[in-house]
Amino acid sequence: MADEKKRLTTASGKPYTENENSMTAGPRGPILLQDFILHEKMAHFNRERIPERVVHAKGSGAYGTFTVTHDITKYTKAKLFSEIGKQTKTFLRFSTVGGEKGSADTERDPRGFALKFYTEDGNWDLVGNNTPVFFIKDPKKFSDFIHTQKRDPRTNCKSATMMWDFWSLNPESMHQIMILFSDRGTPYSYRHMHGFGSHTFSMINSENERVFVKFHFKTQQKVKNFTDSEAARMKGMDADWAQRDLVEAIDAGNFPKWEMKIQVMTEEQTKTFRWNPFDLTKIWPQAEFPLIDVGLLELNQIPDNFFFDVEQAAFAPAHVVDGIGYSPDKMLQGRLLSYPDAQRYRLGANYEQLPVNRCPYATNNYQRDGKMRMDGNGGGVPNYFPNSFDNIEADQSYKEPAEKLDSIVADWYDRNAEGENDHYTQPGNLFRNVFTDEERTTQVNNFLGSLKHVSGPKRELILNRQLCHFFRTDPELGARIAEGLGIEIDASMFAHH
């Protein structure tokens, strides 16, 4: 094959000979308009960029295999879990969140962990992060939050003032910022971090019984993090460190692996759990809801072309498969419509037909036309439903069981009302019971490293407001940060709401 010569052609297939010199009137004269190949080259080049993802723009991806190792069919009828040993092809895209497509891989940021399973019942996308919780609990706040993580509109620089202003005004962020400012905010590489579905999802078994679940992916490479200064140094040495690490490991046959596990809560348990089980700022303690083994995910192939598969990949939390369902988690609900909307804008209406996104099994429906249709567009068969000609039918065995909701009163409820306002117990436990002495010191220093950049006329207001949240999380944490900032402690900061 390598010896077989290929002819140079235009995009329309015309062989041409001159790919280096433009046609001119005389050797030193102006260029002629009729050299359309020059124009074709330039015009295509001008259209190479597509919009980067509005968040998670910088990322890396690989194909892999998911293998079932344990039987969870008592919880779900999803076909990919139907028997031990069953394998499903997957595609995983890792990412940072706040930076642009060319930003550094070692920024302090959550990491995206977006996983596509190509199952016979359609593609299942689990679009998670390397953290089990998130900064906010209502999707209406997402764009405001992300604006604070991106660039200041005037200086065009990242701004600690915007970030801490937002966080201090949204105390539900406390749990996630505790993780973000630990060394888990700067993972060594994508191979050395856990993945989480983060939201509460549901599972439905063959008896049509529903339970609620959280998904976990535990790295077999072990968690390994950069310190703040190591991450900063790596930013200057190799902005693409995590991409390079992934490619080199997989190309060397050193395939990274994650153990998939679930936590399960019955519908009854959701009613008595002491926190809202659908609140994305809370975890389910593993002592009460132990991890249940499910399977093994292995990444084993770097795509040949980054743009083709990684940049054009489109994941959507709405894409679950039979046997897996949503939950009332407001953040999940908000994400259901947002992703396909973003992808129609970023990639075009027919983005589901791009090879990385296409379901490798059958898709049958009456969606037709649109820009860049590539799948034959249904050929000559009817484009309307119902009809008397084709044999496509709605299979009733895929119907989801009805769901009983708690309330039929539509209103705008305060997300942090009484009963929903414990922002401090879980992050406090993390600080007191999970972190070691050394990790507590690291955390305090990482916080101080960021807080000292808060500036401007509202500096004192923002710092004092945030300090109250630190004190309520843990008095030692509050005191150490106050000391580091040189702020006199006032007794009111200790008070719990």
DSSP string, 260-305: EEEEEEEHHHHHH-SS-TT-TT-PPPTTTS--EEEEEEEEEE--S-
Among 79, 235, 346, 459, binds ligand HEM (CB under 6 A): 346
314 scored as a contact of ligand HEM (CB under 6 A): yes
Measured on CA atoms in the order 51, 57, 63, 69, is the torsion positive or negative?
A: negative
Question: Do the beta carbons of residue 8 and residue 19 sit within 8 Å?
Answer: yes
Residues 6 or more apart in contact with residue 462 via CB below 8 angstroms: 161, 164, 165, 168, 454
Distance (Å, whole) CA 359 – CA 366? 16
Answer yes or no: is 63 a known binding residue.
no
Residue 330 CB, shortest distance to ligand HEM, in Å, is: 8
DSSP string, 139-198: GGGHHHHHHHHSB-TTT-SB-HHHHHHHHHH-GGGHHHHHHHTSGGGSBS-GGGS-EE--
194 scored as a contact of ligand HEM (CB under 6 A): no
Closer CB to ligand HEM, 330 or 440, in the complex:
330
Among 99, 139, 187, 325, binds ligand HEM (CB under 6 A): 139
318 scored as a contact of ligand HEM (CB under 6 A): no
Distance (Å, whole) CA 299 – CA 317? 21
Closer CB to ligand HEM, 39 or 140, in the complex:
140
User: Is the N-terminal amide bond of 386 cis, ω within 30° of 0?
Assistant: yes
Q: Which of 129, 130, 170, 276 is catalytic?
A: 129
127 scored as a contact of ligand HEM (CB under 6 A): yes
Question: Do the beta carbons of residue 97 and residue 116 sit within 8 Å?
Answer: no
Cα 249 to Cα 111, 245, 299: the distances in Å are 19, 6, 10
Residue nearest to ligand HEM (CB): 112
Any idea what DSSP says for residue 344?
H
96 scored as a contact of ligand HEM (CB under 6 A): no
Closer CB to ligand HEM, 186 or 442, in the complex:
186
Question: Do the beta carbons of residue 79 and residue 321 sit within 8 Å?
Answer: yes
Residue 47 CB, shortest distance to ligand HEM, in Å, is: 18
Residue 269 CB, shortest distance to ligand HEM, in Å, is: 22
CB atoms within 10 A of CB 150: 17
Distance (Å, whole) CA 258 – CA 299? 9
Among 193, 242, 265, 313, binds ligand HEM (CB under 6 A): 313
Residue 126 CB, shortest distance to ligand HEM, in Å, is: 9
Q: Which of 19, 44, 46, 56 is catalytic?
A: 56
Among 60, 76, 88, 95, binds ligand HEM (CB under 6 A): 95
423 is catalytic: no
200 scored as a contact of ligand HEM (CB under 6 A): no
Among 63, 134, 289, 447, binds ligand HEM (CB under 6 A): 134
Closer CB to ligand HEM, 192 or 440, in the complex:
192
391 is catalytic: no
37 scored as a contact of ligand HEM (CB under 6 A): no
Residues marked as binding? 339
**Binding site for heme: residue ranges?**
339
Binding stretches for ligand HEM (CB under 6 A):
53-56, 59, 93, 95, 112, 114, 127-129, 134, 139, 142, 198, 313-315, 331, 334-335, 338-339, 342-343, 346
Residues carrying an active site annotation: 56, 129
